Chains A and B, each alone.
Chain A
Amino acid sequence: MDLLTFNPNGIYCSQADLYIDPWRPVERALITHGHSDHARYGHKHYLCTETAAPVIRHRLGDIKLQTIPFGKKVTVNGVDFSFHPAGHILGSAQIRVAYKGEVWVASGDYKLEQDGLAEAFEPIPCHSFITESTFGLPVYTWQDQESIFEEINDWWRQCQAAGKVAVLSGYSLGKAQRILRGLDPSLGPIFTHTAVENINRIIRQQGYDLPVTQQVRPEMKKPDFVGGIVVAPPAALNSPWIKRFQPHSLGIASGWMRLRGARRRRAADRGFVLSDHADWPDLNKAIAATGASRVFVTHGYTSIFSKWLNEQGYDAQVVETRFEGELNEINESTQAAEKSE
């Protein structure tokens, strides 16, 4: 029996009788991070990192939540668990599971590039590694974030020159704050959607720096937004909420914007390739750094990526997620970007 197994509830450790990021209500859940496809309602007991906790509390309300510092070990029925930075968003963790000398790591979502908010990704040596594969195709390669922020700020300037409000979409948790830190506040006022501002407030309370933002309020009028940029979650782009900014230019910040087809389908004016997930080279780099011989591939281009890993000498296999193995592809086509909302 493997130390970690996959059942309809999620990733399960039978020796300790607990789950990692379970989809269905269970007794005890270890949570890698606060995005809604990982931190779900209905579990009896939750455990997550200290920095991930405030957002999870905000989103899930009155839950029984314990926190643990990064790197600290907790032992359940002989199994050692510890949380290590995944670099995806603030507080996001990979979970290391060790029992009688066998080590597994469930990575959750991760990225290697440091964004200044999320704790920097640490490679954790293990025998078996559970990896995401959201962007597990060689066409997905990112440029460094500085050049992307430069593009975004240039676009903001162009919008100002054309008398338009720049409206930029990104997940309200993680992506939005990363964007805010990349904006040049000297250019003009920065506005936020309520969903984004709620998260901002929590993150500021945790002691992190974000530029000054103004929450968009119903009483605000068109002239208030002149020369400004608005950061909003993807769902807001399809709602009447956005009409107040006309004339505006729509930008989307997402790894999916790497593909021209995806960019055009969203009918956005600009796509910025900025992702909180590892690109193809970094996925490969991260897996190699663990020294793992077995790799379990989940969330994304699972079958293609595991075939590739097998050719590279790993013992790799696909883990079906609850949407029949194509969570990400379905999400993508029905606007993946909304998943965190």
Chain B
Amino acid sequence: MKEFAQLFRQLDQTTKINLKVESLAAYFEQVSDRDKLWTIAILSHRRPSRTVKTSLLRQWAAELSQIPLWLFEESYHIVGDLAETIASILPPADRENEYSLTYWIDYIKGLKNLPEEEQREYLLDAWGMMDHAERFVFNKLITGGFRMGVSQKLMVRALSKYTKVDENKLTHRLMGHWDPGEDDFQELIFSENPADDLSKPYPFYLAYALEGEPEALGAIEEWQAERKWDGIRGQLIVRGGELFVWSRGEELVTDKFPEYQALLGALPDGTVIDGEILPYKDGKILSFNLLQTRIGRKNLSKKILSTAPVAVMAYDLLEFGGEDLRERPLSERRQLLEQLMASEDLPSVFMLSDCLQVKNWDELRQARAESRNFQSEGLMLKRKNSPYRVGRKKGDWWKWKVDPLTIDAVMIYAQRGHGRRANLYTDYTFAVWEGEQLVPFAKAYSGLTDAEIRRVDAFVKRNTKERFGPVRSVKPELVFELAFEGINKSSRHKSGVALRFPRILRWREDKPTEEANTLDDLKALLKLYGNDQND
């Protein structure tokens, strides 16, 4: 695992893409095929399930380091990363090891279902033969959430550099189901026929946000405009008499959406649809919040199926009659999709995302302004003669979102961040006025520059009222403008509202706290844009 720890260090020490690609490619040269597969898996978020409870890890690490648990927890708050905290407090190792990454992953998998006492023995033994860097990655493998500062795209680029296989082909081959512990590297990477795997999805094509005005895109006749639906982007695959549903996060979610089984007989074999999974009932699209209530559940109760049913809004046709259509122009794919949709046997859960019929950009602008009335986030613009590309690419697809809603709010709590921002107060809770009271209504963290974060951090440390573990209440003196995509009623929040995607737009240093918005202002927004069916 020394090579892997070294790779991690190299990736962590630079922000330069080229250096990362080089380090990865060099690493692929060094290690076994099995280690390569595991590394690819880790970098594409396929990791073994957790076998040891983190509460036990904390306890054992504290015991071994001869410090009380409270001191471990305080240290963890300051470090901001459990794996690193454990690696840093343990006494130095007394042995070394030359075991591979695969060896240690199997070792971790083997801990599953062992009695706690034995898990403890195995862990102590492992820690006793690792240096700080090895312990850190080992702990990361146990706790999960391993961010190595390498996107899937970048990993594929490095793998392509090493294997000389085209990046798009590699992306496709690495999609879907494969097991880094079982599959063969040569077969997975070099096999010319990835469709052998019936469930294998195509890489999603993702859009960038439109910068500036749409007129810059040229003649409107060359573009197809649709509403941008607010659900879960997904791919529906019918092959070999089976239906598979993939989310954009490359998760196989077939079981989560039993409604779609109705499509099995209705769509011909060898069909792949790109679309949006939407909560939908009685002819109306519901709020995304409702979808969230069912995603996390292990068991879908009858109740949840009836309160939060789903439909799919079809955007594109990627495969038809078993043929990969992605290189054909959008206009052609769209025509085929419309023909397919014309069939009378299709169940009602299957809908077509309409193309907006407009004559010029101004009419489209008007349509965009009405987005919120349709429970939509804005528009999608797609070039009619474009192929279906791989990943996020500029040029042919643009998302043109509505401007966010905004409100001025007062910061009342601050919490330490994680990772790069550990030890800095970066996560804030905001409040609006209700009479003389400040009522909290949203948490947000992104949106400030590093310099601003440092200044807010210094403010927090000097203006703390009370401490609650990692959270501090602060004097209500700073005002921020928050942006958010939507607003809904909520009985779980004291304020009675829940915001969608709240983030800090700017620090309003010019505004005294008295001029921040009020709860009544929020309620007025709720009335205008809120969605009543929700909670």
Contact = CB atoms under 8 A, between A and B. Distances in A.
Given A261-B81, A261-B421, A269 B454 contact: no
Interface in B413-452: 418-424, 450
Interface string B56-88: 000000000101101110110011110011001
A138 B421 contact: no
A258 B84 CA distance: 10
B285 interface: no
A188 to B, nearest CB: 22
Given A261-B81, A333-B457, A141 B88 contact: yes
Nearest to A140: B88
Interface string A107-121: 000000000000000
B13 interface: yes
A332 B80 CA distance: 15
Contacts of A308: 67-68, 71
A323 B462 contact: yes
Contact of A138 (B13, B65, B81, B450): B65
Interface size bracket, A side: 20 to 34
A261 B422 CA distance: 6
B307 interface: no
Contacts of B450: 265
Interface string A232-265: 0000000000000000000000000011111011
A265 B424 contact: yes
Nearest to A256: B423
A338 interface: no
Given A259-B79, A269-B14, A139 B462 contact: no
Interface string B76-106: 0011110011001100000000000000000
Contacts of B70: 307
B370 to A, nearest CB: 43
Nearest to B463: A324
Given A261-B422, A265-B421, A139 B85 contact: yes
B8 to A, nearest CB: 10
Contact of A261 (B14, B89, B420): B420
B12 interface: yes
Interface string B1-43: 0000000000011110000000000000000000000000000
B79 A330 contact: no
Contacts of B419: 260-261, 264
Nearest to B131: A143
Given A267-B15, A324-B461, A330-B461, A139 B420 contact: no
Q: Which of A259, A260, A270, A311 has the most CB of B within 10 A?
A: A260
Contacts of A315: none
Contact of A139 (B14, B15, B75): B75
Contacts of B461: 324, 326, 329-330, 333
Contacts of A334: 454, 458
A324 B422 contact: no
A137 interface: yes
Contacts of B71: 138, 304, 307-308
A265 B451 CA distance: 11
B338 to A, nearest CB: 50
Nearest to A311: B68
Contacts of B81: 260-261
Contact of A333 (B12, B67, B80, B454): B454
A135 to B, nearest CB: 11
A260 B419 CA distance: 7
A258 B81 CA distance: 13
A326 B457 CA distance: 12
A138 B454 contact: no
B475 to A, nearest CB: 13
Nearest to B457: A333
A262 B423 contact: yes
Nearest to A259: B79
A284 to B, nearest CB: 11
A139 B68 CA distance: 13
A270 B85 contact: no
A323 B81 CA distance: 27
B95 to A, nearest CB: 17
Interface in B320-372: none
A258 B133 CA distance: 12
Given A138-B71, A329-B461, A265 B88 contact: no
Contacts of A139: 75, 78-79, 84-85, 88-89
Contact of A270 (B13, B79, B423, B457): B13
Nearest to A265: B420
Contact of A258 (B88, B420, B457): B88
Nearest to A264: B420
A307 B55 CA distance: 23
Given A326-B461, A333-B457, 18 more contacts: A139-B79, A139-B88, A261-B79, A261-B418, A261-B419, A262-B422, A264-B420, A265-B421, A269-B13, A270-B13, A304-B71, A307-B70, A307-B71, A308-B71, A323-B462, A324-B461, A330-B462, A333-B454
27 contacts: A137-B74, A138-B88, A138-B89, A139-B78, A258-B88, A259-B79, A259-B88, A260-B81, A260-B84, A260-B419, A261-B79, A261-B81, A261-B421, A264-B419, A265-B420, A267-B15, A269-B13, A307-B71, A308-B67, A308-B71, A311-B68, A326-B461, A330-B461, A332-B423, A333-B458, A333-B461, A334-B458
Interface of B: 12-15, 65, 67-68, 70-72, 74-75, 78-81, 84-85, 88-89, 418-424, 450, 454, 457-458, 461-462
